[in-house]
Structure 1
Amino acid sequence: MEYEIVHLPKEKWKGTIIPIGYKTDKYYDVLVNNTEKGFIIEIEKKDFTEPVTHTPQEYDFPDKLYEDHWENAYAWGVLVNDELVAAIETDQELWSNRLRITELWVSEGYQKQGIGHKLINIAKEQARRERRRAIILETQSCNVNAIDFYQHEGFTLIGMDTCCYKNNDLQRKEVRLEFGWFPEEKKKIKRDEIEIRIETENDWYDVELMTQHAFWNKHCPGCDEHYLVHKLRQDKDYLPELSRIALKDGNVIGCIMYSKSRVVDGTDTHEIITFGPLCVDPKWQGCGVGELLLRETMNLAADKGYKGIIIFGEPDYYPRIGFKTCDNFNITTADGKNFDAFMGIELVEGGMKDIKGKFYEAKVFENLSKEEVEEYNKKFPKLQKLRFPGQWD
């Protein structure tokens, strides 16, 4: 049976008890020996003389969702007939750029059905989206099933605390163990390793599918950028001569779409260009594909005489390529505002020194119909809409 994972809003689920309990006939024996040269630590799986059971009732402070000391907590779970049967909670450890799993629980009757794996994947997706350098979590040396599960999910031992719960944790065979998961380090792709070209009609579905995967659940549950690509191709302001797709081994892994825009200052109108979407398949994000697409097409645009580009984009990404906030160019949004995500770049030195006013995108970017997007989604394999921290709405 397929179980749907849903976000558990703080305002509804704060204080909900997570009844974590387990039974085990094994434990990881932790030995710490002080020697002349330092310390020798041994951790070995052994058998209890008789099974040990831990129940939620034995704890003075049972696990709860959204505890006050987790300042950036976010939780998801599985509901069956409105009853919570599984949950995961994370907290952003901002100072170290790590993501901590603070709770992970699957009710006994729902274990070994892949729910725990899916919940872990939610945390991995959050870490990927937020560019966290690691996921960390706590378990106990006697919780062998949990330890084995975490190792199966790619976690490894990163530390321990021999007096976390009581001063005799070593003797009680209940030592706090810290496990960590680290995203795969990605190598930068060189220009000669990919193909960059104009898309053909035969590419349309693959480009839209890649775009959907790139933006799915990024800014809100679901996305509409793949439908925007479809609409943009039919729009009078689309610039196919500048737009490009990137392919690796024949598969579409990125695209950049350009369109005409304008800056209006009273009765004066200045033509300018914008790009969007610029996206890369999640498997290839962080490999430099987007930058290769952008730099190549910026050169194309400069060769065709365009003076500059204005975008709404990620403030953490575009400035390192040379983009500046638009207040540097005396340009505002259509409603007279400026903010970090509103940026521009000159394609030639001084290209925008005589351009000032309010920026307007092509009409196709405005008010994409949610009903049309939902209908268009039927062309692609179904994906689950899900809430993540940092989404716009």
Structure 2
Amino acid sequence: MEYEIIHLPKEKWKGTVVPIRYITDKYYDVYVNKTDKGFAIGIEKKDFTEPVTHTPEEYDFPDKLYEDHWENAYAWGVLVDGELVAAIETDQELWSNRLRITELWVAEKYQKQGIGHALVEMAKEQARRERRRAIILETQSCNVNAIDFYQHEGFSLIGMDTCCYKNNDLQRKEVRLEFGWFPEEKKRLNREEIEIRMETKSDWYNVELMTQHAFWNKHHLGCDEHYLVHKLRQDKDYLPELSRIAVKDGEIIGCIMYSQARVVDGTDTHEIITFGPLCVEPKWQGCGVGELLLRETMKLAANKEYKGIVIFGEPDYYPRIGFKTCDNFNITTAEGKNFDAFMGIELVEDSMKGIKGKFYESEVFENLPKEEVEEYNKKFPQLQKLRFPGQWD
């Protein structure tokens, strides 16, 4: 079966009942015994004397999408002829930096076709994008098929609640079990493990392909950063002498592209530089590649006596490398604004002390028509455009 996972907007799908039902002839028996030294806890798969059925109708509060108590809920699903046949919903547990799967359902007719796996992969992708330390979910000890499925997807038992549903959950053999999935801990690469060099013409396609992978669905549906790389190389403001790519075992895993920029104060124009994109292949993100590229090229720029760098970037990343918001430098955007994502750094102490005014980058950053981007996308393998939390539009 071919199917497409789509975002389920809250304004349309809020209150939709998720009809989770299942029949089971097995259960995980949970026992908690007090001992002289503490507690003995066990969970063991056993057989029911006869099959047990659970349906939405037996609960006073059936599962629904976008319940009010899930403040940051986000849902995807699969539609067949306009009918919802599968769905997953997540909620950001901000205080603990975890992502909770609040709903996961596949209609019986469509089970065992890979849909459940694909939906879980959506949650894993969201967790990766948001740098969550874990994905967590709950299921019942009698929902053996779900428990086995979650374990197959890499989840492990992390806890239980023996009175979540009723006060006799242990006796009823329906105990809430919590499962968790943890992203692989990535080892930071050191400078000796990668090659940082200027790109050659033979690198162009792979640099753009890597850039597309790094930004796809990050800020918008799809992305245009790979097309920006293509156009930037042809622009008068491009600085190839500062721009670099990162290569590991023959694979291009990162790049940073520099260009001329300026700060204008009335009739005074101050030449500075900016970079963008700075990106890393998704499987190598979190390994320090971007920081290695940035620190090495900042030294190059300082040696060439550039005074400073101004960027639009992620405010939770660049400050730890030394970037500050531009109000510290009396620099605003072209519209006269300042905000957390608008940052700068001096390449030498006090090198931007005499610079103030409005920041302007190359016009190439604003000249990326959607129709041109779509045409350029035909040069690369087709990727699905998907909605994720945090996109700008």
* TM-score tier (shorter): over 0.9
- Map 1:55-94 onto structure 2 (within 5 A): 55-94=55-94
Specify the alignment match of 1:311 in structure 2.
311
- Map 1:174-189 onto structure 2 (within 5 A): 174-189=174-189
Separation (CA, whole Å) in 2 of partners of 1:296 and 1:392: 31
Q: What's the offset of the Cα at 1:367?
A: 3.5
Separation (CA, whole Å) in 2 of partners of 1:46 and 1:222: 48
Specify the alignment match of 2:329 in structure 1.
329
Specify the alignment match of 1:391 in structure 2.
391
Q: What secondary structure is seen at the aligned counterpart in 2 of 1:2?
A: coil
Counterpart of 1:344, as a letter, is G
Separation (CA, whole Å) in 1 of partners of 2:382 and 2:47: 46
Q: What secondary structure is seen at the aligned counterpart in 1 of 2:230?
A: helix
Verify: 1:205 aligned to 2:210, yes or no.
no
- Map 1:139-288 onto structure 2 (within 5 A): 139-288=139-288
Number of residue pairs matched?
393
Counterpart of 2:129, as a letter, is R
Instruction: Tell me how large the CA RMSD over aligned residues is.
Output: 0.8
1:339-387 per-residue CA deviation (whole Å, 9 max, x = no partner) reads 1110000111111111111110001001311001111111111111111
Q: What's the offset of the Cα at 1:76?
A: 0.6
Separation (CA, whole Å) in 2 of partners of 1:356 and 1:70: 45
Counterpart of 2:325, as a letter, is T
1:173-212 per-residue CA deviation (whole Å, 9 max, x = no partner) reads 1110000011111111000000000001111111111111
Specify the alignment match of 2:107 in structure 1.
107
Verify: 1:348 aligned to 2:348, yes or no.
yes
5+ residue gaps, structure 1: none
1:131-182 per-residue CA deviation (whole Å, 9 max, x = no partner) reads 1111110100010000000001110000001111111111111110000011
Q: What secondary structure is seen at the aligned counterpart in 2 of 1:228?
A: helix
Specify the alignment match of 2:372 in structure 1.
372
Counterpart of 2:299, as a letter, is N
Separation (CA, whole Å) in 2 of partners of 1:276 and 1:30: 54
Q: What secondary structure is seen at the aligned counterpart in 1 of 2:19?
A: coil
Specify the alignment match of 1:382 in structure 2.
382
Q: What's the offset of the Cα at 1:19?
A: 0.3
Q: What secondary structure is seen at the aligned counterpart in 1 of 2:353?
A: coil
Counterpart of 2:339, as a letter, is F
TM-score scaled to structure 1, two decimals?
0.99
Q: What secondary structure is seen at the aligned counterpart in 2 of 1:95?
A: helix
TM-score scaled to structure 2, two decimals?
0.99
Separation (CA, whole Å) in 1 of partners of 2:221 and 2:142: 39
* Farther off after superposition, 52-61 or 234-243: 52-61
Separation (CA, whole Å) in 2 of partners of 1:31 and 1:56: 27
* Dislocated runs of 4+, deviation >3 Å: none
Verify: 1:133 aligned to 2:160, yes or no.
no
Q: What's the offset of the Cα at 1:61?
A: 1.1
Q: What's the offset of the Cα at 1:56?
A: 1.8
Counterpart of 1:69, as a letter, is H
Counterpart of 1:185, as a letter, is E
Specify the alignment match of 1:297 in structure 2.
297
Q: What's the offset of the Cα at 1:267?
A: 1.1
1:49-80 per-residue CA deviation (whole Å, 9 max, x = no partner) reads 11111122222211000111111111110111
Separation (CA, whole Å) in 2 of partners of 1:159 and 1:367: 52
Separation (CA, whole Å) in 2 of partners of 1:47 and 1:381: 49
Separation (CA, whole Å) in 2 of partners of 1:58 and 1:68: 21
Identical counterparts, % of pairs = 88
Separation (CA, whole Å) in 2 of partners of 1:129 and 1:380: 22
Q: What secondary structure is seen at the aligned counterpart in 2 of 1:283?
A: helix
Specify the alignment match of 1:359 in structure 2.
359
Q: What secondary structure is seen at the aligned counterpart in 1 of 2:96?
A: coil
5+ residue gaps, structure 2: none
Separation (CA, whole Å) in 2 of partners of 1:333 and 1:213: 29
Q: What secondary structure is seen at the aligned counterpart in 2 of 1:12?
A: helix
Counterpart of 2:137, as a letter, is L
1:242-271 per-residue CA deviation (whole Å, 9 max, x = no partner) reads 000001111011000000011111111111
Separation (CA, whole Å) in 1 of partners of 2:285 and 2:87: 28
